[in-house]
Chains A and B, each alone.
Chain A
């Protein structure tokens, strides 16, 4: 059975905007994105909304519904009270382009700053062999659909615009973790993760994990293990001594980023583009 859904949608662009109220007829079994589409088709033809798969897999329809960062296509109307007004806004951490569409360039720049996967030069006859057990941890992070809801929710940048140059955000911190845990990688990203990607800014308050639609354990399986790895190379005197006297083997990986003597790609994107 359908009903009339009261909706409050943020309309506007970078110059300004505000909430507009609508009554939208909806059907049973629909999701918020359906309601937004009907609104666009019948009452607000110029409403801007980004979407693609309607199946929670493309990561395009990220928005905030009743203040919670969510995918619109995965938010069932039946999980709200039929009488309540559903408020929909664009993600609040990124520059707004129009209405519900934001400019997520920040994330693509952070992605480019992660030192890429560096397999061994001997390519083992064209076939790298890995044991499933060894790549399982990294694979969890490959489920990411790049919806950037975690990036949007993380208070480090959400509440502090000035931190954006210094902080890669949870989605990319798990990329650092993914590669650092990879059995075939040959570079060491621990120093650059801490110094350039701003791992230390994260205070493990877990909002990224809370909003991730893929249920990736961003904090427990990615960020915290990465923090522990960083302690090994930067803050643990016993590990330091153990390495000096040969009790702990060197990983054999080459440090990259400023630890490797190069410029920090993260604070100087223009230098990075030139190189």
Chain B
């Protein structure tokens, strides 16, 4: 058998067609990365501001707790809703930081967000068949980008957080009066919370890691009919993962904004408080 040359034609090729243009595309290929860049930047700026505008009178208005601050478990959380009163050393650190770090990690390692920011922030590549500006490229083969492989761990936390935000949507139906009595409550904000929970869950359960865990990793679907059903459902959500990603991102910021505007008296939350379902026992 003839030995093959160690150098492949592909390897020695500077013999590509001599074309100097970085791209010959004539459509507006830059539009999508630009919109993505503006969208993500706006969210980063807003959420950073929101994390530091952290007086309870800004992020809590009974029964609404800003989703950026949920679960509230540090000292200084409004007593109605706190899950603990952890005494943090660095007072200037916002209670939101402890919470935001998880969804931030989850989204930063999400396969869709990766695509979006590699394209729009890192220009690697800015669009298909448009040359990237970087001299060398190693992708996700080494640290720090190797860490993207831990996405599933962030997913575990995201499921937890999804549960908490769903619980918050339930709490948004529950108003506590000054005496501690509980009332069934229905406000514009309540609706926003319900939608928020749906969007977060839709995003979280459409995750590629979730798809892998449900049944993606097995090779004999026919022997695992229940897991296969789950996988099919996750795959269905996954098809629209981009949409879930954007909607849930925009929505959670809107809910935060809404709570702030209500809490600071800038807008009125149209609502109805029903009769007391329980009175303050033991309070």
Contacts and interface: CB of A to CB of B under 8 A. Distances in A.
Interface of A: 10, 12, 14, 16-18, 64, 66-69, 84, 87, 89-90, 92-96, 102-103, 105-106, 109, 131, 133-134, 136, 153, 155-156, 158-165, 180-183, 198, 200-207, 210-211, 220, 224-225, 227-232, 234-236, 268-270, 272-274
Nearest to B12: A95
Which label, helix, strand, loop or mixed, suits the secondary structure of the B interface? Answer: loop
Nearest to B149: A235
A274 B23 CA distance: 41
A275 to B, nearest CB: 10
A182 B219 contact: yes
Given A17-B17, A205-B115, A205-B125, A183 B208 contact: no
B38 interface: no
Most chain B beta carbons < 10 A, residue from A16, A67, A201, A225: A67
B6 interface: yes
B267 interface: no
A165 B7 CA distance: 9
A229 B208 CA distance: 11
Contact of A207 (B16, B18, B27, B125): B125
A12 B18 contact: yes
A181 B137 contact: no
Contacts of B219: 134, 180-183
A13 to B, nearest CB: 9
Given A95-B13, A134-B219, A228 B212 contact: yes
12 contacts: A12-B17, A84-B26, A153-B129, A161-B13, A202-B140, A205-B118, A211-B128, A228-B209, A228-B216, A232-B217, A273-B3, A273-B4
Given A12-B18, A68-B129, A203-B118, 18 more contacts: A14-B15, A64-B129, A66-B25, A67-B130, A68-B128, A90-B17, A96-B16, A159-B125, A180-B219, A181-B219, A182-B219, A203-B140, A210-B128, A228-B209, A230-B149, A235-B149, A268-B6, A273-B3
B139 A207 contact: no
A155 B13 contact: no
Interface in B126-185: 128-132, 134, 136-142, 145-146, 149-150, 152
A270 B208 contact: no
Closest 7 CB pairs of A and B: A106-B10, A67-B24, A67-B25, A207-B128, A200-B141, A228-B212, A131-B222
Contacts, number: 183
B47 interface: no
Given A18-B18, A109-B10, A268-B6, A236 B152 contact: yes
A16 B18 CA distance: 6
Give chain B's interface residue range (CB within 8 Å of chain A).
Answer: 35 or more
Contacts of A206: 115
B9 A161 contact: no
Most chain A beta carbons < 10 A, residue from B24, B124, B209: B24
Given A17-B18, A200-B139, A225-B208, A155 B149 contact: no
Contacts of B14: 161
Contact of A205 (B3, B5, B119, B141): B119
A164 B10 contact: yes
Given A67-B23, A87-B24, A95 B9 contact: yes
A273 B1 contact: yes
Given A231-B152, A273-B4, A68 B25 contact: yes
Nearest to A225: B216
A22 B146 CA distance: 49
B6 A95 contact: no
A67 B152 contact: no
A94 B217 CA distance: 35
A164 B10 CA distance: 7
A10 B11 contact: no
Contacts of A205: 115, 118-119, 124-125
Contacts of A235: 146, 149-150
A75 B276 CA distance: 68
Nearest to B146: A200
Contact of B13 (A68, A94, A268): A94
Nearest to A10: B17
A230 B16 CA distance: 34
Contacts of B209: 228
Contact of B125 (A102, A155, A202, A232): A155
Contacts of B8: 105-106, 109, 164-165, 269
B217 A67 contact: no
Interface string B199-226: 0000000001101100011011110000
B129 A207 contact: yes
